[in-house]
Amino acid sequence: MPVLLHDTMSRELRPLLPRRPDGVYGMYCCGPTVYGPAHIGNFRTFVLQDTLRRVLEADGIRVRHVRNITDVDDKTIRGAREAGKSLADFTRGWTEKFHRDCAALNLLPPHVEPGAVAHIPHQVRMIEALVARGHAYVAKDGSVYFKVCSCPDYGKLSHLDRSRLASQDTNSAGEANDADEYDRESAADFALWKSRKPEDGDNHWPSPWGEGRPGWHIECSAMSLEHLGATFDLHAGGVDLCFPHHENEIAQSECATGAKGFASHWFHSAHLMVEGRKMSKSLGNLFTLDDLAARGWSPMEVRWALLAGHYRSPLNFTFKGLDDARSALAKLERGCDALLATAGFTRAEFAPPTTHEPRVGWGRLEAAWERLRDDLNVPGALGEVFKALAHPPADPEEARRDVAGLARVLLALGIIPFAPRPAPEAPPEVRSLAERRWAAKQSRDFAAADALRAELAGLGWDMLDRKDGFDLRPR
Ligand SMILES: [Zn+2]
């Protein structure tokens, strides 16, 4: 039975199966606009896409993951001008920052990460095809627009009523959209090519319609065509991209290439709220990974908190949720330690595998794995993980099977247990008490060890024993 996932277009759970004869699963994800640090709302989408890719790979599917970089638009051009940098220097800096944050969150790098500027010739070719086929028109100022009424099945993805579809002014999350208010024949039309404006500075490129730059939507159509072909398996993005961005991508791609069924499956993740409120600059809740690190949260705790809700439900991101993530990770690690002890392994031997080895099986973690395969039910899978850890086996052989299964489930979730994270440093007197207790335990003086443990507890510290050492955690 293949992995099942809800598809926005058909509104059904559908199997994820590669359609290419070589068996490679093509996955296109709309990437970041690199004009500042990405915030946790952006990262929730990227973490979910990463987890889906990991689940497919765990299922034995070879994935080709393409995620673009938007390095030219109004925001990047404005940002570069304000920073006094060239557009290329400005966007390179923010792209590198994005990569560092992704690595901290344990996101696998995509196989291809195309940039919009490097694909301007591809975008121009696609616009030429749209003009030639009667799906686009050139306005007086040299801008080119897509003619929405030329595409009879426009709107098939987002299921919006015709009045919403008739304008490009709000997106599917109900937010104002950067509509291109120039010489459109109809409010439903959108820009494919924007003629050069004074505020663009040096950022303009030649085209058959004069100097200018591409509209935003066309970049994903051109880059997916170049790197995955006219049709491919899965397209992903946040729910706010469903309309108009993804709707426009379908229209551009299918009208330019003539191939129907641009993407076979559409994966949209619900939006993120912060402390019950919409994320916005004015509320100051567009938290970045650095903001959360400054408050003492590790990237792995953030990843856990972002994964904690089902992808189809809006997630309310709270500091209480981060606390819960910290406790859950600590509980997971205690469970791992208990399993490792029974299995006769040290933590060093519990290095999560970097590739999935089906021959090792899932042990009692089978139920967790099945949850992941059923519409990417991460909360359900985590529940099954804790259920399995609550009753560790006494038999070392069984424990070894569970260790292998757990390592595979954690690889699919991108969760790394025992990752270093900012933990309060125990004061020297606590450390020395703990070392005395460890020595007492090693020499089997359990009475002394218990007395020292109580003394540590009195100072507000728990000592957690492992086979090969101990940890100190505040109570
Ligand atoms: Zn896109």
Whether residue 316 lies inside any domain: the answer is yes
Measured between alpha carbons, how far is residue 406 from residues 25, 303, 336, 428 in Å?
25, 18, 8, 35
Residue 303 Cα, ligand 1 centroid: separation in angstroms?
23
Task: Evaluate whether 165 touches 243 at the Cβ level (below 8 Å).
Answer: yes
Q: How far apart are CA 309 and CA 143, in angstroms?
A: 43
Which residue in 432, 416, 418, 426 sits closest to 461, CA to CA?
A: 426
Is pLDDT above 80 for 451? Answer: yes
pLDDT score recorded for residue 181: 56
Q: Which of 27-31, 261-265, 315-319, 468-472 has the lowest mean pLDDT?
A: 468-472
Is pLDDT above 80 for 11? Answer: yes
Which residue in 17, 23, 47, 16 sits closest to 413, CA to CA?
A: 47
Residue 322 Cα, ligand 1 centroid: separation in angstroms?
30
> How much is the average pLDDT of 398-425?
86
81 lies in the same domain as 204? yes
86 lies in the same domain as 221? yes
- Tell me which residue has tokens 């509104």: 11
Whether residue 455 lies inside any domain: the answer is yes
319 lies in the same domain as 259? no
Residue 217 Cα, ligand 1 centroid: separation in angstroms?
6
> How much is the average pLDDT of 394-423?
89
Residue 246 Cα, ligand 1 centroid: separation in angstroms?
7
Residue 213 Cα, ligand 1 centroid: separation in angstroms?
16
447 lies in the same domain as 393? no
> How much is the average pLDDT of 427-455?
91
140 lies in the same domain as 207? yes
Q: What is the DSSP letter of 111?
A: S
251 lies in the same domain as 297? no
368 lies in the same domain as 451? no
Whether residue 324 lies inside any domain: the answer is yes
Whether residue 283 lies inside any domain: the answer is no
Q: How far apart are CA 473 and CA 460, in angstroms?
A: 9
Residue 29 Cα, ligand 1 centroid: separation in angstroms?
7
pLDDT score recorded for residue 452: 93
Is pLDDT above 90 for 166? Answer: no
Residue 31 Cα, ligand 1 centroid: separation in angstroms?
7
- Tell me which residue has tokens 């120039």: 182
Residue 251 Cα, ligand 1 centroid: separation in angstroms?
13
236 lies in the same domain as 327? no
Whether residue 88 lies inside any domain: the answer is yes
Residue 371 Cα, ligand 1 centroid: separation in angstroms?
29
* Of 247 and 425, more confident: 247
Task: Evaluate whether 469 touches 475 at the Cβ level (below 8 Å).
Answer: no
Residue 127 Cα, ligand 1 centroid: separation in angstroms?
16
Whether residue 210 lies inside any domain: the answer is yes
Q: Tens digit of pLDDT for each residue in 56-100?
A: 999 999 999 999 999 999 999 999 999 999 999 999 999 999 999
Residues that place a CB less than 5 A from ion ligand 1: 30, 220
Is pLDDT above 60 for 356? Answer: yes
Residue 148 Cα, ligand 1 centroid: separation in angstroms?
18
Residue 24 Cα, ligand 1 centroid: separation in angstroms?
21
Strand pairing class (315-317; 277-278)? unpaired
Strand pairing class (232-238; 24-29)? parallel
CATH number at residue 68: 3.40.50.620
In this structure, the number of other CB atoms found within 10 A of the CB of residue 286 comes to 18
- Tell me which residue has tokens 């059904």: 12
What are the b/e assignments for 13-33, b being 16+ CB within 10 Å? ebebebeeeeebbbbbbbbbb
Last residue of a domain, which of 413, 439, 461?
Answer: 413
Residue 2 Cα, ligand 1 centroid: separation in angstroms?
27
Q: Tens digit of pLDDT for each residue in 133-163?
A: 999 999 999 999 999 999 999 999 998 777 7
Residue 317 Cα, ligand 1 centroid: separation in angstroms?
25
pLDDT score recorded for residue 473: 75
Residue 141 Cα, ligand 1 centroid: separation in angstroms?
26
Residue 167 Cα, ligand 1 centroid: separation in angstroms?
19
pLDDT score recorded for residue 315: 95
* Of 420 and 364, more confident: 364
Last residue of a domain, which of 370, 389, 413?
Answer: 413
Residue 383 Cα, ligand 1 centroid: separation in angstroms?
33
407 lies in the same domain as 432? no
Residue 413 Cα, ligand 1 centroid: separation in angstroms?
25
Residue 222 Cα, ligand 1 centroid: separation in angstroms?
10
Residue 116 Cα, ligand 1 centroid: separation in angstroms?
10
Residue 305 Cα, ligand 1 centroid: separation in angstroms?
25
Annotate 4-66 with DSSP letters as a single string: EEEETTTTEEEE----STT-EEEEEE---B-SS--BHHHHHHHHHHHHHHHHHHHTT-EEEEE
Residue 449 Cα, ligand 1 centroid: separation in angstroms?
60
Torsion angles phi and psi, residue 329, rounded to 5:
-65, -40
Domain that holds residue 393: 289-413
Whether residue 147 lies inside any domain: the answer is yes
Query: With bands split at pLDDT 50, 70 and 90, how would you rate the model's confidence at 358?
Result: low
166 lies in the same domain as 262? yes
Domain total in the chain: 3
Measured between alpha carbons, how far is residue 338 from residues 25, 132, 192, 206, 384 in Å?
38, 67, 58, 64, 17
**Phi-psi label, residue 376: left if phi above 0, alpha if psi -120 to 50, beta otherwise:** left
Residue 28 Cα, ligand 1 centroid: separation in angstroms?
8
Which residue in 382, 7, 72, 12 sits closest to 218, CA to CA?
A: 72
186 lies in the same domain as 327? no
Residue 112 Cα, ligand 1 centroid: separation in angstroms?
14
Task: Evaluate whether 149 touches 216 at the Cβ level (below 8 Å).
Answer: no
Q: Is 160 exposed, middle or buried (0-12, 13-18, 19+ CB in 10 A)?
A: middle
250 lies in the same domain as 168? yes
Residue 65 Cα, ligand 1 centroid: separation in angstroms?
14
Percentage helix, strand, coil, to 5, in the chain? 45, 15, 35
Whether residue 197 lies inside any domain: the answer is yes
Residue 373 Cα, ligand 1 centroid: separation in angstroms?
26
Last residue of a domain, which of 369, 389, 413?
Answer: 413
